[in-house]
Amino acid sequence: MTTDVDTPRPERQTGGSRAGSSLRRLLTLREGSIVVVTILAIVYFSVLNEHFMTTANLKNLLPYFAPFAILAVGEVMLMVAGEIDLSIGSVYLFTPFMFYEFHELGLSLVICLVASLLCAGAVGMLNGFLTAVVGISSFIVTLGTLLGVGGLTLIISNAAPVDMPGAEVTSKTVQVTHVVNGHKITLPEQVNSVGGFARVFGAGVYSELFWALLVVVVMHVVLTRSRWGMYTIAVGGNRHGAAEAGIKVRRIMIRNFILCAVLAGFVGILEATRASTVTPDTAGAAETMFRAVSAAVIGGTLLAGGEGTVIGALFGALFLGVLRDGLTLEGVSADYLDFILGIAILLAMCINVYVGRVRKGSGHG
Amino acid sequence: MAEDLADDVLRVENVSKRFGAVTALRDINLHLRKGEVLGLLGDNGAGKSTLMKIIAGFQNADSGRIVVKGEEVTFRDVDHARSLGIDCVYQDLALVNELDVVQNMFLKRELVSRPVPLLARRKMRRLTREALDQIGINIPRLDVPVARLSGGQRQAIAVARTVTSEADIILLDEPLAAMGAKEGAMILDLVQKLREEGNVSIIMIAHNYVHVLQSCDRVNLIQGGQITFDKPTPETSVEELNEIVVEEYRRARRAAHAD
Ligand SMILES: Nc1ncnc2c1ncn2[C@@H]1O[C@H](COP(=O)(O)OP(=O)(O)OP(=O)(O)O)[C@@H](O)[C@H]1O
Ligand SMILES: [Mg+2]
């Protein structure tokens, strides 16, 4: 565990313009640098391409961003406690298949949702138990469950895609009246619709955004203003000291593993419902996990534990989404995309580290 | 003698503790009277901290009895010991560097609002400020992570946290270790004040004989996991304590030579 013990230094004189000082205040926040970097990226793409700041494109952007924000928030709660969960990729994939299986048993959609999320939670509990009680490093444990649960998904699905129950699209033709040059004309138009459950849980245009913002707000309050959040920081910052102070370290760790897995399962269901079908693509699942971890890390959460931010994870995910969407809009070929994304992540991290150093006032050493 | 027993707020009877091949405590017996300050001396590795951790409910003894305020107890956890009025300032302080002064002061005894249990930060900050002022600890900012405080300030916070808690059996494991002369005197004054008020009973571990003779009612010496010396401070002196410890050392060296 690295700690820097500095003597407190007097507050630096805040001079300059008002905008300058509020920017400086923003940068003193842990999530400040990623917020600034994200805004710069948005401005850049808006200037570069007139189609970027359109409603249509913002709708395109959402699935690049909202699911990862939720996954990253779960990861933040674990990383702050000094652990990591690599298995979220597989849990994300596995949960909608469990949803499908429960539905095959004739259960209602809401029951299927609850039951499949319980399955996700069980994976989290297993991760937590093996890490906190047995004492295996979470990196190894969740690498194991990443593979194991991925394999389990292939077994129960027979490696074949399924249609997501409740997300069936029904089309009907309606008569729509237009006013053209003062004349009313009525034309038949095809309208696609999905059921209410699907619209709430992923298929509605703003459904994932709604859930992402809800999860971010709730977990931000939990991390910064609740006992649970404080104990999470204590467990990640000084595990032995936390135990001496009487904190139930194992309980906190297991709880955070369960939370992370349930959020991953929930995102899996949102995404499957949005696409109305789900394919057992384990490679894609691992990639999803890497993106979520990246979002958490570039948001300003330390892998070492003790420090992290939920708001930062939101912006980390937004930054990655904006980059992907912006570069795609620019017609950057898929071959270059990951390369550029990788460099952008490294750059964002460098800025984070630099700003972090300035924030802590420990100079440039 | 019967009166003595009734006066004990804490009795440790025949407690043993092993860590693998190391025997940290062997059949140790110790008692603490109500309102008394007991000084605990001993070499490095003698088992002092282990004894404190067992009394604080952080570690379990392998065998033996612990009697708190007349009732035998087997601690389930730290909270259990705390509910019986026992609180410890650990040698490693148990502070979380990433949390600020207020959060560390209230770690595991946070105040929360109702009905939604969110941390009552303003109230905790006010109480922290009051507590630190009362003790005379000067920490300019309470909203900085404790990582940025000096070793002495951190130690002061750990002591303040325990002293201002509800506890009436207070364990201080080397509370002066990181303190400068002035700050150390402040902690000793604090112990002196508590001693005069007589509401709490204290076990204080220290390596400095002078401090112990100054601030304690009674001295225990722990050697090789056992109490080998137990006298009221007026009946002993720096010379006597020094003599015992040095004698022990000489004997050990002679024994080593003889082998
Ligand atoms: N958790 C542990 N695991 C293994 N051995 C331990 C553990 N805790 C203490 N010990 C051993 O028990 C013995 C007593 O340790 P303890 O910390 O109680 O000594 P101490 O009297 O507090 O010493 P010091 O003055 O250096 O603080 C030592 O030999 C130590 O190595
Ligand atoms: Mg010790």
Ligand 1: does its nearest atom lie under 6 Å from the Cβ of B30?
A: no
Please say whether the beta carbons of B35 and B198 come within 8 A.
yes
**Alpha-carbon torsion (B30, B25, B71, B212), positive or negative:** positive
Work out the average pLDDT over A184-193: 81
> Alpha carbon B169 to chain centroid distance?
9
Total-model pTM: 0.90
Q: How confident is the model over B31-66, as pLDDT tens digits?
A: 999 999 999 999 899 999 999 999 999 999 999 999
- Tell me which of B49, B92, B174 to substitute to probe ligand 1's pocket, judged by most ligand atoms within 8 Å of the beta carbon: B49
Residues A320 and A334: their CA atoms lie apart, in Å, by 15
Domains of chain B: 2-91+169-258 (3.40.50.300)
End-to-end Cα distance, chain A: 18
ipTM score for this prediction: 0.92
Strands (E), chain B: 8-19, 22-33, 37-42, 63-68, 71-73, 86-89, 169-173, 201-205, 218-223, 226-232
Q: How far apart are CA B116 and CA B125, in angstroms?
A: 19
- The residue among A290, A211, A219 whose CA lies nearest residue A76 is A219
The protein residue whose alpha carbon is closest to atom 17 in ligand 1 is B49
- Which of A227, A244, A307 is opposite residue B98, by nearest beta carbon? A307
d(CA B137, CA B165): 16
Instruction: Give distance in angstroms: CA of A223 to centre of ligand 2.
Output: 34
Contact yes or no for B118 and A244 at CB 8 A: no
Mean pLDDT for chain B?
91
Measure the CA–CA gap between A41 and A315, rounded to whole angstroms.
Answer: 11
Which atom of ligand 1 is nearest the CA belonging to B52?
18
The tokens describing A356, both together, are 């972090």
Least confident of A55-59, B167-171, B221-225, B249-253: B249-253
CB of A164 closer than 8 Å to CB of A96: yes
Summary mean pLDDT of chain A: 89
Which protein residue has the closest C-alpha to ligand 1 atom 26?
Answer: B44
The residues on B that touch A, with CB distances below 8 Å, are 53, 56, 58, 77-79, 82, 88, 90, 92-99, 103, 107-108, 110, 112, 117-119, 121, 140-141, 144, 147-151
What is the CA angle A239-A241-A246, rounded to 5? 95
Q: Which domains does chain A have, with CATH numbers?
A: 32-360 (1.10.3470)
**Which amino acid type is present at position A333?**
S
Task: Give the pLDDT score at B159.
Answer: 93
* Nearest chain B residue (CA) to A81: B98
Instruction: Specify whether the CB–CB gap between B111 and B121 falls below 8 A.
Output: no
Q: What tens digit of pLDDT does each residue of B121-140 get?
A: 999 999 999 999 988 888 98
Q: Give the model confidence (pLDDT) of A3-22 as tens digits.
A: 444 444 444 444 456 777 77
Tell me how far apart the 2 most distant CA atoms of chain A are, in Å: 79
- How far apart are alpha carbons A244 and A251 in whole angstroms? 15
> Which pLDDT score is estimated for B21?
92
Nearest ligand to residue B91 Cα? 2
Looking at the predicted structure, is the pLDDT value of residue B85 above 80?
A: yes
> B161: which 2 tokens?
């946290």
